Amino acid sequence: MTAEAKNGTSTEGQSAAAAGSSKKAEYDALKKKLKESIAKRNNLDDELTKIEENIFSKETQYLADGTTHGNIIKGFENFSKTNSSSSTRVKKIQFTDEDRIFSLSSSTYVTQLRKLQAGGDGGGFNTSTASLEEEDEPSSDFSTPRKKR
Amino acid sequence: MALPSTTGRFRQRKISVKQTLQVMKQKDIPDLDGEEQQRELQHIETGVEKGEEEEKDLQAVMHATDAKFHGAKVADVSIPIPDASKMWVDASKYYQTKYQFPEDYLKFSSTVEDTSGCQYCMDELDDEFLIKYNSDKEGDKKCTEDEFEILMYNMERVVNKKQPFLSMDPSQILGFDEIKEIALVPDEADPTFIHRQLGTQLGIQNFRTMLDATPKIMPRPFRVLLELFGADIYPHWKGRRLTKEGNPIFPRLKFEDPSQQQRDDNDPYVCFRRREYRHARKTRRADMQGVEKLRLLDRDFRNAKELLLMVAQREVKRQKEIDAEWAVFRQRCAIKDMKRELGIKGEDQDLIDHKRRRINIIRKVKDSTMSERERLKIKVRADKKSLHKHGSSASEGPDSLTAQLRRQQQKQMAQRAGLASQESVAPPPVQPYVKLPSAKIPDLEMTTVNTVLKDKLDGIKKAVSDKLIKRKLQDEGWVNFTDDPYNPYFDISPNGEELLRERSHLPFSSIASSTYTIQDSRQIDFTYVFSNSKHYSNNDSEIVKVNAATGQVIRNDRHNFMPAFYDLAGKDGDDSEDYGLNKGSAQESFYEKNRLNVSEVLFKLRKRIGRAGCQWIDRKRITDSKDYQKYLDEIEDEQLVEDEPMDLDDESEKSVEDIEEPVEGTRKRVNVYDSRASVKRRLKSRFMFDSDLPAFDPVDPSRLNQIDPQTQEIRFGCMLLSKAYDGMHQIRQKQIEAYQQRLIHQQKLVQQRHQRLHGSGSGSGSVNGSVNGSANGSANGSANGSANNSSGSKSSNGTNGSISAQLQLPDNSTPRKGKSIPKRGVTSKSLQSPIKEVSKQAQALKN
């Protein structure tokens, strides 16, 4: 940027049409380049969003799978419990937004979710994420809103 | 001292048969009397471990106290302890008070080996060698210490793996070329391997974690190092290894050999010994459970790993995105400067971020993940829209309200679809974690099961009584005799009883019933009752209704229904006197006329098993059995003779007797249990009404089959159905066969015509043969072909009736399958299709 700025100031001194035409070409090239890089950035953005969505769904599945035996977030306490006594039912693990360490560790995804909820109908994205809406101000840590802090 | 030492441990053991017990004589037992005993006991209970009892200072103290106890004067003795009263002057120098508590006590769970980089640690000998080696080298040619360690480590690794028992014969040590070859194969156990793998997966060169040591100068890749220094360092390594007699250069921990059953407890250098634990009882179920558990855990970890990898990928992507963003920003700055310089106005759309973009993306992504159904719906909608546009393009301007509305709807739909798809993507739906605040819980009255049941019962009761009332209204003016169904109306007697040998079917036989005649019509003349008795209807206020079951008086309303009745006893106060004289005769005649003649058992039957297992049925006519009558009379005579002492105190029995034996006025009090006459009478009445045989009961087919009557009904119905179905099937099968035959005949004709046309074609002879073969196979053969078809054998009918497949068909193979086709419901259409195809193909081949 500084280089460009310098470039700009240096050329300012000369007020010639010839220089202007070369400048114009340079400007067009720059503009083209900008368009390309914006496209690239948008692509990356899209990919990122996709990955985030995938993470969210996979995480949901993972957490739902682990309701009976546990997962790496809640621990595997139920894992050893079940074989000892078949009569006593093991308590199912309920998971909350606090456990979504994979998907909600991305701040962009969180803002995106919130935007989605703001834009969409009040039904909410998911019961678990719908609660995010209730938070008034965006905060960096996303503890479960159901828990009273 | 044997006894104190055993009791001194204060451990009583159970006497075991396996343990020899010490036999002690009196002289062996120490004298425990008086002071001696106390001393001994004191000696025993030192309170310290046995080995420490011998401690010199403790002994001294104990002896001193002992002596003191006996009154001797002793100097103070104590166990010396280190002096803790003084301060160490230099303590502050070595122990700083500043202690920083760590953020987490648990930083990570990686092992030391995972995080300490290369596991070879060079020593003085290596250092010497390296300095000497590097002395005549410049710049890049020099081998750094890290690189040296990497090389040494890998050589050790390869040999440890490939020659674990090198110490048996050190001369067998691998040469450099062999080591090089093996070392370049990536080893999964190597911690760097995982790094490399992750690096390639994420597209990061030089993958490092935060836990990895970060050397100032990154060592060159191992492959390069091996080329550069491997050959030079190898002799040094080999020398070192050989001086250790083939053992690893650095001593390693000695572990227990898990393959050995016997534990080597004597070797003091073994570390991490196996813990001894009782093995849990092994069952197949437990084993299976274990395997299942492990599998579950494995899956869980795999999923978690995948998730983490995705997160890592996201972060990598994020990095790239930020870079791109930065590039965009820089370019924008440059363009702005340029614009200012050139005086260009407008063309700003690329210079600012469009706000709605992100949401658009979301929507786009949602669209892509939208469920198929929704997408179709929208597509249809779009199609409609375009149609509309075609129809009336003028009205459908881009800004027209309807279009906007529609777009909005679509948007919403898309979003909703996105939501739906989001839920459908995750197969186990998230259980909604609904937790109502107490204020929102609806305040409902709880209904108990009892009330529900009661309501139901009341409803049923009311419905029944309503029905009854309705019926009563219809029957107005009629008397329903069937209210009491137990009185026989007709006395039916078999006429030609001798003709009926087989009696089991009687109840169902119309022929048998035709032989019955009504002996004595029991149609009761109720005129007396109607005219003379008082009639009560249901709702008469005079009636007091009593629940028969509980004895409670119930309300007299229309719901507690009671049939209308006549007061036959005539005990109503009003007209009892009126009847007076009249009553007696009328009543008598009424009862005389309508005496209920209960049908008696006509025969007494007895089944017995006689000689040689013969079954006999004895039949005896009861009514006119003279002998029996005689027997009864005899007893009565006897009765007169034997007068038994009376039981005086039983009043009730007396009354019973009075009723039962009105004839015998002379003997008033006879104990009913002792009376022969009563025995006789009872016997008689028993013959009258009871039967030794079970009541005639036509055997139900369901009982014969020993199944539930309902099942019997169903079976019977099924049988009828299947019979009908079979009949239909046979007809159908015949039709199908006839059709096939006709087809085959036609085919034959066609072929013959073809043969005639083309002469005896040499090339297509085999084809003809095959087709003929299948055709000649009659209906069965072709049916067989389609049997293959229906049974789904892919090989033969994958090409559906290709000629080669048809060739394989046996001409006259037993058509078991063929027979079963029609049953499977293969229609004639599907049967004919392969045949048609065969003929078609045959034609094609010939042409």
pLDDT of B790 higher than 60: no
How is residue B727 written in tokens? Answer: 């009949």
DSSP state of B534: E
Please judge whether A72 and B301 are an interchain contact, meaning their C-beta atoms are less than 8 angstroms apart: yes
pLDDT of B254 higher than 70: yes
- Enumerate residues 55 to 84 of chain A having a beta carbon within 8 A of any beta carbon in chain B: 55, 57-62, 64-66, 69-72, 76, 79, 83
Nearest to B337 among A5, A66, A116 (CB): A5
pLDDT of B764 higher than 70: no
For chain B, what are the domain ranges? 113-244, 284-352, 478-496+520-532+541-556+600-624, 710-744
Cα A138 to chain centroid, rounded: 14
- So what's the pLDDT on residue B459? 93
Collect all residues of chain B within an 8 Å Cβ-Cβ radius of residue A7: 337
Collect all residues of chain B within an 8 Å Cβ-Cβ radius of residue A4: 330, 333-334, 337-338
pLDDT of B602 higher than 70: no
Which of B433, B434, B438 is most worth mutating to test chain A (most A CB atoms within 10 A of its CB)?
B433
pLDDT of B103 higher than 60: yes
| Residue A18 resides in a domain | no
| Ranges A80-94, B133-147, B490-504, most confident | B133-147
If you average pLDDT over every residue of chain B, what do you get? 67
pLDDT tier at B6 (50, 70, 90 boundaries)? very low
pLDDT of B229 higher than 80: yes
Radius of gyration (Cα) for chain B, nearest Å? 57
pLDDT tier at B419 (50, 70, 90 boundaries)? very low
Q: For B690-719, what is each residue's pLDDT tens digit?
A: 555 555 556 666 767 777 777 878 888 888
Instruction: Tell me the shortest Cα–Cα distance from A137 to chain B, in angstroms.
Output: 20
Look at B354 and B333; give whichever has higher pLDDT: B333
pLDDT tier at B759 (50, 70, 90 boundaries)? low
> What is B738-803 written as a DSSP string?
HHHHHHHHHHHHHHHHHHHHH-S-STTHHHHHHHHHHHHTHHHHHHHHHHHHHHT-HHHHTTSS-H
pTM for the model:
0.39
Q: How far is CA B688 from CA B639, B681, B692, in A?
A: 22, 10, 11
Mean pLDDT within B642-647:
44
Q: For B355-382, what is each residue's pLDDT tens digit?
A: 545 444 444 444 444 444 454 455 455 5
Look at B14 and B636; give whichever has higher pLDDT: B14
Q: For B475-497, what is each residue's pLDDT tens digit?
A: 777 766 665 555 444 555 555 55
| Residue A90 resides in a domain | yes
Lowest mean pLDDT, pick from A142-146, B47-51, B61-65: A142-146
- So what's the pLDDT on residue B784? 41
pLDDT of B228 higher than 80: yes
Which residue range forms the structural domain that includes residue A104?
45-117
Q: Which of B313, B306, B305, B308 is nearest to B203 (CA)?
A: B313
| Residue A75 resides in a domain | yes
Nearest to B321 among A41, A66, A126 (CB): A41
> What is B473-503 written as a DSSP string?
HHTTT---GGGSTTS-SEEEEESSTTT----
Look at B484 and A116; give whichever has higher pLDDT: A116
Helices (H), B70-190: 91-94, 112-115, 124-135, 145-162, 176-183
Mean pLDDT within B403-418:
54
- Report the residue of chain B nearest A114, measured CA to CA: B359
Look at B539 and B299; give whichever has higher pLDDT: B299
| Residue A19 resides in a domain | no
Cα A60 to chain centroid, rounded: 15
- B66 C-beta neighbours (distance < 10 Å), count: 15
| Residue A128 resides in a domain | no
Please judge whether A27 and B320 are an interchain contact, meaning their C-beta atoms are less than 8 angstroms apart: no
- Report the residue of chain B nearest A94, measured CA to CA: B433
| Residue A36 resides in a domain | no
pLDDT of B146 higher than 80: yes
Do the beta carbons of residue B412 and residue A45 sit within 8 Å?
no
Q: What are the residues whose beta carbons fall under 8 Å from the beta carbon of B532, sequence distance 6 or more? A: B570, B579, B583, B586, B587
Lowest mean pLDDT, pick from B687-691, B724-728, B747-751: B687-691
pLDDT of A138 higher than 50: no
B411 touches A at CB < 8 Å: no
Which sign does the torsion angle of CA B816, B822, B828, B829 carry? negative
- Report the residue of chain A nearest B434, measured CA to CA: A127
| Residue A141 resides in a domain | no
Please judge whether B433 and A49 are an interchain contact, meaning their C-beta atoms are less than 8 angstroms apart: no
- So what's the pLDDT on residue B323? 92
Instruction: Tell me the shortest Cα–Cα distance from B407 to chain A, in angstroms.
Output: 14
Q: Which of B224, B218, B234, B258 is nearest to B118 (CA)?
A: B218
Which of B293, B362, B436, B438 is most worth mutating to test chain A (most A CB atoms within 10 A of its CB)?
B362
| Residue A145 resides in a domain | no
Look at B596 and B161; give whichever has higher pLDDT: B161
- So what's the pLDDT on residue B807? 37
Do the beta carbons of residue B151 and residue B226 sit within 8 Å?
yes
Cα-based angle A66, A70, A75 (whole degrees, multiple of 5): 140
pLDDT of B817 higher than 50: no
pLDDT of B620 higher than 70: no
Q: How many domains does one find in chain A?
A: 1
Phi, psi of B622, rounded to the nearest 5 degrees: -85, -45
Phi, psi of B621, rounded to the nearest 5 degrees: -80, 130
- So what's the pLDDT on residue B397? 40
Which sign does the torsion angle of CA B659, B665, B671, B673 carry? negative
- Report the residue of chain A nearest B355, measured CA to CA: A115
pLDDT tier at B622 (50, 70, 90 boundaries)? low
Q: How far is CA B268 from CA A3, B137, B265, in A?
A: 72, 47, 7
